[in-house]
A and B are shown apart, each in its own frame.
Chain A
Amino acid sequence: MPRLVIADVTKVYTLPRNGTALPALGPVNFTVDEGEFVTLLGPSGCGKSSLLRIVAGLEAASSGVATFDGEPIQGPSSRRGMVFQEYALPPWKTVQDNVELGLKFRGVSKARRREIAARYITLVGLVGFEDRYPHELSGGMRQRCALARTLANDAELLLMDEPFGAVDATTREIIQGELLRIWGEHLSPRERKTVLFVTHSIDEAIYLSDRVVVMSRRPGVIKEVYADPLPRPRTDEVRSSPEFLKARDHLWSLVRDEALRAMTERVD
Chain B
Amino acid sequence: MSLGARGRALALPLAFVATWQLATGILMPSLASALPPPSKVLAEAWGVLASGDLLASAGHSLWRVLGGVVVAVSLGIPVGVGIGLSALFEDIVDPAVEFLRPIPPIAWIPLGILWFGIGDTQNMFIIFLGAFFPVVLNTVSGVRAVDRSLVWAALTLGGSRGQIIKEIVLPGALPLILTGCRIGLGVGWMALVAAELVAARSGLGFMIQSARYALATQRVILGMAVIGVLGLLMDRGMLWLERHVVPWVTSAR
Contact = CB atoms under 8 A, between A and B. Distances in A.
A133 B247 CA distance: 10
A86 B149 contact: yes
Interface string A41-53: 0000000000001
Interface residues of A, number: 30
Interface stretch (B65-73, B86-94, B151-159, B179-187): B151-159
A75 to B, nearest CB: 8
B168 A90 contact: yes
Interface stretch (A1-9, A77-85, A187-195, A212-220): A77-85
Given A77-B158, A90-B168, A101-B167, A135 B252 contact: yes
A53 B152 CA distance: 9
B172 interface: yes
Nearest to B252: A135
Interface centre among B147, B172, B246 (most CB of A within 10 A): B147
B25 interface: no
Interface of A: 53, 56-58, 76-78, 80-82, 84, 86, 88-92, 101-102, 104-106, 133, 135, 146, 149-150, 153, 155, 159
Contact of A92 (B149, B156, B157, B246): B246
B157 A78 contact: yes
Interface of B: 147, 149-150, 152-160, 163, 167-168, 171-172, 174, 246, 248, 251-252
B252 A91 contact: yes
B170 to A, nearest CB: 10
Given A84-B152, A133-B248, A135-B252, A90 B171 contact: yes
A56 B156 contact: yes
A134 to B, nearest CB: 8
Contacts of B246: 92
B150 A90 contact: yes
Given A101-B157, A105-B157, 15 more contacts: A57-B155, A76-B155, A80-B156, A81-B157, A86-B147, A86-B149, A91-B252, A92-B172, A101-B167, A102-B158, A102-B159, A135-B248, A146-B153, A150-B156, A159-B156
Nearest to A56: B156
B153 to A, nearest CB: 4
Contact of B155 (A58, A146, A149): A58
A105 B153 CA distance: 12
Given A101-B167, A135-B251, A135-B252, A88 B160 contact: no
